[in-house]
Amino acid sequence: MSHVTSKVSGKLFGLFCLASYLLSLSYGTTFLLALLIGARGGNEHDAGTVISAAMLSTFVAVLGCGHLADLLGAARSIGVFALLLVAASLGFAMTSGFGYGLLFFGLLLGLGWGVFYTLGPIIVANLVVPAQRAKYFALLSGSMMSGIGSGPLFGRAASALDLPLASAFYLAALASFVGALLFWRLAPRLTPSQTTTAKITWRATTQVFSSQALLPIIMVGLGGCVFGGLSSFQTSYAAVRALDYSWFFVGFMGAAISSRMLIAGYVIKRDPLRASCLLSGVMLASVMLFAFGVNGGLSYLLAAVMLGVGYGLTYSVINGLAANEAPDGTTSQALLLFSLAYFIGVFGFPLLAGKLIVEQGMASLLLTLLGVALANWLITIGRLLWRRFTAKNPRPRPTVRRSSGTNPS
C-alpha cells in the first residue's frame, strides 16, 4: 500500500509544478506544427500524421513506465525521458520539409510526454491522502495546461518579433532541459519510501474496467479528442475565419489557470458527478460556439475561455474519480489507463481531424467534435440518472436462512 502524507511542502510542490510547466511547453509547441508544416509545403493531414505518431509511442510509455518507475523511481524516470522532449523539439525546429524525420521526432515526443504525463499524477497520488487528490491534481494539471497554452504563444511572439517559427521549438527544448534537471534533483523528495505498484497487468486492467472507474477513463478519451482536435488545428481554424490564433491560447490558458486558482477549491468539494456534468456541459457549449457562434475576436475569446473552464476543470474532477473509484490496490493502474485513454484521444484523433479538414473542410471537423462532446456530456447525465434510480430502488439484502435442524427437500 502506498505511503501518503496529509501535507506536502508548499515549496516542494511549487518546484514540482514549475518543472511540469517547463516540460509541458514542448507539447504545447506541437500546436504550431500545422503552421510549421504548412510553411514547408505540407497540409493539416501531414501535421495530423506527425502528431498521431506520438500515440504509438505513448502506448509503449504507458505500458513500460511502471517497470521504469520501479527501476529508477517515478521522478528520475521523468527526468531521463524528458530529454526525449528536448530532442523532439530540436528535431521539429531543424528538420526541413516533411518526411520520416518528423515522424521519428513525433515518436520521441510521445515517449517523453507519455512517461511524464503518466507518472506525474502517480507521484501526486503517492504523496497525498485520497481526500486531497482532487486539489493537487488540479494544481498539477493547471501547471501542465499553462505550459501547453504557453507554447503556441511563443510562436506568436516569434512572428511579432520577425523571428522564424522554429524559435518557439528551440525555446521549448531549452525549457524541457531545465525541467528535466529539476525532476532529477527533486527525485529523492518526490519519491516516498514504498514499493511501487504501477505496472499494468491483465488482472488489474480487468478489475479497473469492471469498476466505475471505467467511465471517467472513457470520458478523458473523449475529452482528449475535443482538446486535441481544437488545439492542434487552431491555427487553421483562425486562418479560415481571419482571426489571431493567439487569442484562443490566451483565453484557454487564462481560464485554465484562473479557474483553478479561484474556483477549483470549491468545485472539488462538491458532488463530483454533478460537477462533471456541469463542466462537460460547458465544454459542449464551447464547441457549439466554435462551430456556429464565432464571428469575431470577442466571441472567439469567449469560446476559448469556456473550453478552458469546462475541459480544464472536468479533467481534474474525473482524474480524481478514476483514482478514487478504482478497486483497492489498483489506483496506480487506473491512473495509467486514464493516461492511456487521454493519449488515444489527444494524439490519435488529430489524424482523423487533419483528414477531415483536407477532404471535407473545417466545418466537418467541428460537427464531429460536437458529436464527441455531446457523447461525453451524456455519460455524466447517465451516471446521475442511474444514481437516482438506484437510490430509489436499492437492491434487497440477501436473506440468510437459519438452520432449523431439518434438511429441506
Helices (H), 263-327: 264-267, 272-288, 297-324
State residue 397's pLDDT score.
Answer: 56
Q: Any idea which fold 10-190+200-391 has? A: Growth Hormone; Chain: A; (1.20.1250)
- Is 97:32 a contact under the CB 8 Å cutoff? no
Stated as kind and residue range, the H or E segment containing 208 is: helix 202-209
pLDDT at 370 over 90: yes
d(CA 114, CA 120): 10
Q: What is the pLDDT of residues 32-71, one digit of tens each?
A: 999 999 888 888 989 899 989 988 898 888 888 877 888 8
Taking residues 265-284, report their average pLDDT: 88
Lowest mean pLDDT among 225-234, 249-258, 373-382: 249-258
State residue 192's pLDDT score.
Answer: 60
Three-class secondary structure of residue 99 per DSSP: coil
In this prediction the pTM is: 0.83
C-alpha torsion 385→387→393→395, nearest 10: 140
pLDDT at 377 over 50: yes
Domain ranges of the chain: 10-190+200-391
348: Cα separation from own chain's centroid: 13
